[in-house]
Chain A
């Protein structure tokens, strides 16, 4: 079941001197099985947009449909029960490490599944699975979440969402502040979750990640949808306009192409795949 935005507008602090229209007439659809990137300059409304996907924000105008859940600007048309939706659409915030509060890591991770109605033992079981998925072993189970490193905290927080087995996983800049290796591990984690059938919605400023992992890109500019395209077409349009920068890899591949090497650019997503393409052409 897709997530569909129909003419969604959102205004912060409506009817006050501080009112600010963060989203203006958004129309888009995210299909099941997608690995979507949402990109755009700082303050363009990405975080505001994704919070409509699990009804943390309600549109000022228009409607967001997720399965049979209607997040409508009209209160009467809005679906009342939000809990099933929040289980279905898991949301990992920017710097999720600030939401940890339990005494032990396993308890914190089991918090969400318990809230969504799982029995305590079952939730703990889920928590252990999720911790395994994010690469934290048994030695972490009974440690306090506050004594972990920043990267580990973030993995615990992500496990805390994964443990509720969402169908959609929305992540807001998960790699911000991580070292390159850590960022890659994190992204590989999302890829493996994606391969198990979860739809991933990724907000990021890192175009290399978009090129490497995503099959669809939504460019937001000043609260409006500027482009919906695929990563290998994105950098053909003038992305600097949106304060985005083509990945070096992509520019390199484009130059090769221009120089007469018949590589297939949509096959290029990272360094190994580029090397493979070059090897194929010069063979």
Chain B
């Protein structure tokens, strides 16, 4: 139950970990945009996506994310790959440029189907890896503080940025506690003969109520206690709060920003100016 490969913080003190969370959020969004900007030809798409893929892989490597965890988080994509392939094969595009893969008694399948599916899968894989860099190297709390920073301008329109950030960080803080509670209640009920793994369907359902009801009860108790404790310590959502964590930009942050901005700008320029690098090099690619 505790194995979320995606979104799990990896405690380590790497360069990527030390980058300011606000910069990381911005960089993630910028890279995601770069990933999903369409390029004109297949060759350009795969070139750009390939470079971004390698970049994400390098960042994950620097962040000391284990290779196994990367594979685990990509595992569920298999289904999607097959699904996409089937769709593109059954419903071909109007214009196909890559030629015919096979022709079985009039059932024509173009290579384009595979290229299209491959394009989407490569984008999704890179997207997952880029977000993984963010979540693996940034503590959830830092993430919420950074988000709060981004939401601060919205305070002008009375958007409760601080409260939202507080709510999110409390929710995040209590996920492990909830999991711990769940495992404790599961153990207690297993001692009373509940079999959460085997057993008939009906038994599993009663087993589930035996798990969920105590969880609800303890969560309500806990939230009440937390609210009381916060009030006792003078928490007032409307007051302006100073903070323990202050963000300050370092050289590495600026460099990171510049790098990501350069990448995004490069991708946009390629797209806007209809540049085909392969053609420039004198290669005719599709």
Please pick, from A93, A101, A111, the residue contacting B187 in the complex, using a CB distance under 8 A.
A93
Please pick, from B12, B184, B217, B218, the residue contacting A93 in the complex, using a CB distance under 8 A.
B184
Proximity bits, A142-184, B CB within 8 Å = 1, else 0? 0000100000000000001100100000000000000000000
Complex CA gap A111/B193 in Å reads 8
Nearest B residue to A87 via CB reads: B193
Complex CA gap A82/B209 in Å reads 21
Q: Are B214 and A17 in contact (CB under 8 A)?
A: no
Proximity bits, B184-218, A CB within 8 Å = 1, else 0? 11011111111100000001000001100110011
Complex CA gap A146/B188 in Å reads 17
Proximity bits, B102-140, A CB within 8 Å = 1, else 0? 000000000000000000000000000000000000000
CB distance from B130 to the nearest CB of A (A): 23
CB distance from B236 to the nearest CB of A (A): 32
Q: Decide if A99 is an interface residue (CB 8 Å cutoff).
A: yes
Q: With A101-B214, A111-B210, A146-B217 as given contacts, are A91 and B11 in contact (CB-CB < 8 Å)?
A: no
Q: Are A101 and B193 in contact (CB under 8 A)?
A: no
Complex CA gap A5/B185 in Å reads 25
Q: Decide if A51 is an interface residue (CB 8 Å cutoff).
A: yes
Proximity bits, A15-34, B CB within 8 Å = 1, else 0? 00100000000000000000
Q: Are A83 and B191 in contact (CB under 8 A)?
A: no
Nearest A residue to B194 via CB reads: A115
> Which among A54, A83, A87, A116 has the greatest number of chain B C-beta atoms within 10 A?
A83
Q: Are A161 and B191 in contact (CB under 8 A)?
A: yes
Q: Are A161 and B187 in contact (CB under 8 A)?
A: no
CB distance from A51 to the nearest CB of B (A): 7
Q: Chain A residues near B189 (CB, 8 Å)?
A: 99
Q: Chain B residues near A146 (CB, 8 Å)?
A: 217
Q: Chain B residues near A51 (CB, 8 Å)?
A: 187
Q: Chain B residues near A256 (CB, 8 Å)?
A: none
Q: Which chain B residues in 155-190 approach chain A with CB under 8 Å?
A: 181, 184-185, 187-190
Please pick, from A17, A56, A115, the residue contacting B193 in the complex, using a CB distance under 8 A.
A115
20 A-B pairs with C-beta separation under 8 A: A17-B12, A56-B187, A56-B191, A86-B191, A86-B192, A86-B193, A93-B184, A98-B214, A98-B217, A98-B218, A99-B189, A99-B192, A99-B210, A100-B214, A101-B210, A111-B193, A112-B193, A115-B194, A115-B203, A146-B217
Q: Which 9 A-B pairs have the closest CB atoms?
A: A115-B193, A101-B213, A99-B188, A112-B192, A91-B191, A116-B193, A56-B187, A101-B210, A93-B188
